[in-house]
């Protein structure tokens, strides 16, 4: 009898050990632990459609055109402090709200630091989402002024290595998203409206939507203002707007991004996809072809068209010039992407908050529709292409189509009015932006911005009529 009891005890012990081993080895991937032993779990709201990486991107939810969304972030006070004392930013601009007189023209040498946050939307939450500041002058001017309304970027599985429970976490199918702060835009609608203009007229451009942002960084929830959510050129956008989604994607920024100041450098052509492959043959081929001075005209055109979507670029150029967008190629060596779609580099406009303006703070004369000029010799993608009569004619046809098909007073003034009305209550008034969390000098600047936009489109239509033969 005793022997039987001993055998039973032994079997039970073995089974218990096996059970422990199975739990340890086959642990549910919805939980893990930090080094301190704290248990980390997925959000209780996790579902395949809202958090999983196999779901199709839900554009209707994330980029809802009919309403202003709301995002609530919770950031640990220590992480928030780290963001505001990020050495990389401080070394360039000085401490937050206290600019360095000697470093005002400097830029951070690296992207700002990522920190984890809890991201809440529509009654659900996403845990350990990566968030960081982003931008160049839009970050610098808010930072140095001590204004908390700074642009942000999200990566929903940035911290998956630290917290395996959120492996491949997505936000309705999106891994990365960006929030634009409305820098240099009293209307707060330029980023959205301009992207919509491009897409409507056949130019690949990100989807956008309006959001209110609230952040609790240890002192209670605070309204950070009205932002524009902007789609990052990545898998969802590449799948939706191009024939392929596995090509090289570049975000140029720097001297050689003009294609006229020497061969493209790897530093100036940041690869957003295929980063591990040191292959820049496509952008180098474009540089060689567009700057070719030895081949005959037909050979040069053939070489350029073999590596570059010339027609798509001319369409972008026409729309961009009609609507007047200052902060991009032709004036600045940034704010565009190049994507290699099945062998052809295609143009993607980016960061459109300074479009729809007559001038850039009086620093430049109005953007001329008659682009071929000596001042554009250092921008060969414009000057070399439009020196060809066939390309010039195609550009002019796209200029005409821009005002005929969309960018005209009757269409745009209705678009402006609807967007202005949609966000009005979240910009001014009791529920509007607050001091220290707004880039507006006064409520009147926002209110009066609608008149400016209405007048601007009328003037641009008139300019097109004067320009075209």
* The two structure tokens encoding residue 29: 């991937």
Note the pLDDT of residue 25.
35
Please classify residue 102 by burial: count the beta carbons closer than 10 Å to its beta carbon, then call 0-12 exposed, 13-18 middle and 19+ buried: exposed
- Which of 114, 87, 75, 411 has its CA nearest to residue 213? 75
- Picking from 254, 231, 261, 258, the residue whose alpha carbon sits closest to that of residue 348 is 231
Beta partners for 237?
none
CB 349 within 8 A of CB 313: no
- CA distances (Å), origin 71, targets 74, 87, 159, 332, 359: 10, 28, 20, 32, 34
First to last CA, the chain: 109
HEC string for the chain: CHHHHHHHHHHHHHHHHHHHHHHHHCCCCCEEECCCCCEEECCCCCCCCCCCCCCCCCHHHHCCCCCCEEEEEECCHHHHHHHHCCHHHHHHHEECCEECCCCCCCCCCCCCCCEEEEEEECCEEEEEEEEEECCCHHHHHHHHHCCCCCCEEEECCCCCCCCHHHCCCCECCECEEEEECCCCCCCCCHHHHHHHHHHHCCCCCCCEEEEEEEEECCCCEEEEEEEEEEECCCHHHHHHHCCCCCCCEEEECCHHHHCCCCCCCCCCEEECCCCCCCCCHHHHHHHHHHCCCCCCHHHHHHHHHCCECHHHHHHHHHHHHHHCECCCCCCCCCCEEEEEECCEEEEEECCCCCECCCCCCCCCCCCCCCCCCHHHCCCHHHHHHHCCHHHHHHHHHHHHHHHHHCCCHHHHHHHHHHHHHHHHHHCCCCCCCCCCCCCCCCHHHHHHHHHHHHHHHHHHHHHHHHHCC
- Residue recorded with tokens 């641009």: 460
CA–CA gap between residue 150 and residue 420 (Å, rounded)? 21
Residues 133/111, Cβ–Cβ less than 8 Å: no
Check if the beta carbon of residue 416 is closer than 8 Å to that of residue 450: yes
Give the per-residue pLDDT at 13. 42
- Taking the CA atoms of 305, 308, 309 and 313 in sequence, report the sign of the dihedral they define: negative
What pLDDT shows up at residue 19? 38
Contact (CB, 8 A) for 176 and 155? yes
Residue 156 pLDDT: 98
What confidence score (pLDDT) does residue 8 get? 40
Q: Which residues lie across from 340 on neighbouring strands?
A: 345
How confident is the model at residue 374, as a pLDDT? 65
CA angle, 285 as apex, 367 and 135 as ends, to 5°? Answer: 50
Which residues are CB-neighbours of 239 under 8 A, at least 6 positions away? 245
CA 344 to chain centre: 22
pLDDT of residue 326: 85
pLDDT score of 244: 94
Question: Which pLDDT value is given to residue 34?
Answer: 53
Q: What is the pLDDT of residue 278?
A: 85
Residue pair 174/233 in contact (Cβ under 8 Å)? The answer is: no
**How do the pLDDT tens digits run along the chain, 469 residues long?**
434 434 343 433 433 433 333 333 333 445 555 544 456 779 999 999 999 999 999 999 999 999 999 999 999 999 999 999 999 999 999 999 999 866 666 788 899 999 999 999 999 999 999 999 999 899 999 999 999 999 999 999 999 999 999 999 999 999 999 999 999 999 999 999 999 999 999 999 999 999 999 999 999 999 999 999 999 998 899 999 999 999 999 999 999 999 998 999 999 999 999 999 889 999 999 999 999 999 999 999 999 999 999 999 999 999 999 999 989 999 899 999 999 999 999 999 999 999 999 875 444 455 788 886 667 889 999 999 999 999 999 999 999 999 999 999 999 999 999 999 999 999 999 999 999 999 999 999 999 999 999 999 999 999 999 999 8
Scored b (16 or more CB within 10 A) or e, 417-453 reads eebbebbbebbbeeebbeeebbbbeeeeebeebbeeb
For residue 2, what pLDDT is reported?
37
- The model carries a pTM of 0.90
CB atoms within 10 A of CB 284: 14
């Amino acid at each position: 009898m005793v022997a039987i009891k001993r055998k039973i005890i032994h079997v039970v012990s073995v089974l218990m050990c096996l059970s422990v081993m199975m739990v340890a080895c086959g642990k549910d991937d919805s939980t893990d632990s930090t080094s301190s032993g704290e248990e980390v779990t997925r959000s209780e709201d996790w579902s395949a459609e809202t958090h999983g990486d196999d779901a199709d991107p839900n554009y209707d939810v994330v980029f809802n055109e009919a309403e202003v969304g709301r995002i609530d972030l919770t950031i640990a006070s220590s992480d928030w402090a780290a963001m505001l004392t990020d050495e990389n930013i401080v070394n360039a601009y000085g401490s937050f709200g206290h600019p360095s007189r000697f470093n005002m023209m400097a830029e951070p040498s690296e992207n700002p630091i990522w920190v984890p946050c809890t991201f809440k939307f529509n009654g659900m939450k996403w845990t350990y989402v990566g968030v960081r500041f982003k931008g160049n002058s839009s970050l610098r001017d808010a930072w140095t002024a001590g204004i908390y309304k700074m642009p942000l970027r999200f990566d929903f599985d940035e911290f998956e290595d630290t917290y395996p429970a959120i492996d491949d976490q997505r936000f309705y199918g999106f891994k990365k998203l960006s929030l634009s702060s409305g820098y240099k835009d009293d209307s707060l609608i330029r980023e959205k409206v301009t992207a919509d203009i491009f897409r409507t007229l056949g130019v690949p451009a990100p989807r956008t939507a309006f959001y209110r942002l609230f952040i609790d960084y240890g002192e209670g929830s605070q309204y950070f203002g009205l932002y524009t959510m902007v789609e990052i050129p990545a898998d969802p956008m590449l799948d939706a707007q191009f024939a392929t989604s596995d090509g090289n994607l570049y975000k140029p920024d720097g001297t050689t991004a003009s294609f006229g100041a020497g061969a493209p450098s790897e530093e100036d052509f940041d690869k957003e996809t295929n980063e591990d492959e040191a292959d820049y043959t496509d952008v180098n081929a474009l540089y060689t072809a567009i700057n070719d001075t030895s081949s005959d005209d037909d050979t040069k055109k053939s070489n350029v068209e073999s590596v570059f979507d010339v027609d798509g670029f001319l369409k972008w150029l026409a729309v961009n010039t009609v609507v007047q967008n200052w902060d991009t190629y032709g004036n600045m060596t940034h704010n565009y992407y190049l994507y290699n779609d099945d062998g052809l580099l295609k143009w993607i406009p980016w960061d459109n908050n300074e479009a729809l303006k007559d001038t850039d703070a009086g620093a430049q004369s109005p953007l001329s529709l008659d682009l071929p000029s000596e001042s554009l010799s250092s921008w060969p993608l414009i000057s070399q292409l439009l020196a060809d009569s066939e390309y010039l004619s195609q550009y002019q046809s796209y200029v005409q189509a821009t005002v005929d098909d969309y960018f005209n007073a009757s269409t745009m003034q209705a678009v402006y009015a609807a967007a202005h009305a949609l966000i009005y209550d979240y910009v001014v008034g009791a529920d509007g932006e607050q001091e220290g969390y707004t880039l507006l000098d006064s409520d009147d600047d926002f209110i009066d911005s609608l008149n400016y936009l209405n007048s601007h489109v009328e003037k641009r239509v008139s300019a097109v009529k004067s320009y075209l033969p």
